[in-house]
Amino acid sequence: MASTFTGLNISSAGLYSSQSAMYTTNSNISNASTDGYSLQNISTSAGQSTPIYGNMSTSSGAQITDITRERNVYYDMTFRDQTSVYNHWYSNSKTLTEIEGIFNEPSDEGLSALTSDFNNALEDLTISPDNSAARASLLEAGNALCDTLNTTAEKLYTITK
């Protein structure tokens, strides 16, 4: 048998459902101009029915069954795909920028300048092989080139980790 407060319970359930719908409507209105916001919808249904006399029954009032967002699945999928592509190319760009900084080219202190200095010192030594200054210059240019190559290799190795 139904309680004497059944009518009050049905009324309060309806008020709670209406209040939730008002909150959702308020949220939809206040965020109407917000980029990326999608509308929310509330689904309501009749609550569980309670038998009172014979074939007669009464409902327990309105219930909120679901709050959903209106979204376009195609746009969502496209956004996710394009974000993935963007992140891939952003990561590549960042890595290539780091590599560019490691090689320090073009500059007067980069790998090409040191290779050129080494080749010039080697050429000077081939012109006068007995000259000790040319030998010392070649040794110095070779050491500078090797140091730079080792440092560059270490920096490239740290990027790959």
Cis peptide before 106 (omega within 30 of 0): yes
| pTM given for the model | 0.51
Least confident among 24-28, 69-73, 79-83: 69-73
Query: Confidence band (pLDDT; 50, 70, 90) for 3?
Result: low
Task: Evaluate whether residue 136 is within a structural domain.
Answer: yes
Neighbours of 91 (CB within 10 A): 10
- Are 82 and 136 in the same domain? yes
- Are 54 and 111 in the same domain? no
For 34-80, how does the pLDDT look when each residue is reduced to its tens digit (9 = 90+)? 887 888 889 888 877 777 777 777 777 788 888 888 887 888 899 99
The domain in which residue 94 lies consists of 76-160
Angle between the N-to-C axes of helices 132-160 and 111-127, in degrees from 0 to 180, rounded to the nearest 10: 160
- Are 82 and 56 in the same domain? no
